[in-house]
Amino acid sequence: MQWVEDVDAVRRLVAETRAQQHTLGLVPTMGALHRGHVALLHALRPEVDRLVLSIFVNPTQFGPREDFAQYPRALASDRAWAEAAHVDAVFCPATSVMYPIPPSTFVQVEGIDQVLEGAVRPTHFRGVATVVSKLLNLWTPDVIALGQKDAQQVVVVRRMLQELLWPTRLVVVPTVREPDGLALSSRNVYLSPAERQAAVVLHRSLDAALQAVRRGERDGARVAAELAAAIQAEPLAQLDYAVVVDAATLAPVTRLAGRVLVAVAARFGTTRLLDNCCLAVDEDDVRTVLA
Is residue 61 a contact point for ligand PAF (CB under 6 A)?
yes
The maximal CA–CA distance of the chain, rounded, in angstroms, is 58
Q: Which of residues 2-31 bind ligand PAF (CB under 6 A)?
A: 28-30
Q: Which residues contact 290 (CB under 8 A, 6 or more apart)?
A: 148, 172, 173, 174, 278
Q: Which stretch binds ligand PAF (CB under 6 A): 67-75, 126-134, 230-238, 283-291?
A: 126-134
Is residue 58 a contact point for ligand PAF (CB under 6 A)?
yes
Measured between alpha carbons, how far is 74 from 53 in angstroms, rounded to an integer?
A: 14
Is residue 182 a contact point for ligand PAF (CB under 6 A)?
no
43 or 131: whose CB is closer to ligand PAF?
A: 131
**Closest listed residue to residue 263, CA positions, set 214, 218, 236, 223:** 223
22 or 73: whose CB is closer to ligand PAF?
A: 73
Measured between alpha carbons, how far is 91 from 169 in angstroms, rounded to an integer?
A: 20
124 catalytically annotated:
no
Site string for ligand PAF, 136-155 (x = CB under 6 A): --------------x--x--
124 or 196: whose CB is closer to ligand PAF?
A: 124
Contact 185, 268 (CB under 8 A): no
Q: Which residues contact 67 (CB under 8 A, 6 or more apart)?
A: 187, 190
One of 37, 42, 124, 203 is an active-site residue; which one?
Answer: 37
Active site residues: 37
For binding to ligand PAF (CB under 6 A), which residues are involved? Answer: 28-30, 58, 61, 128, 131-132, 150, 153
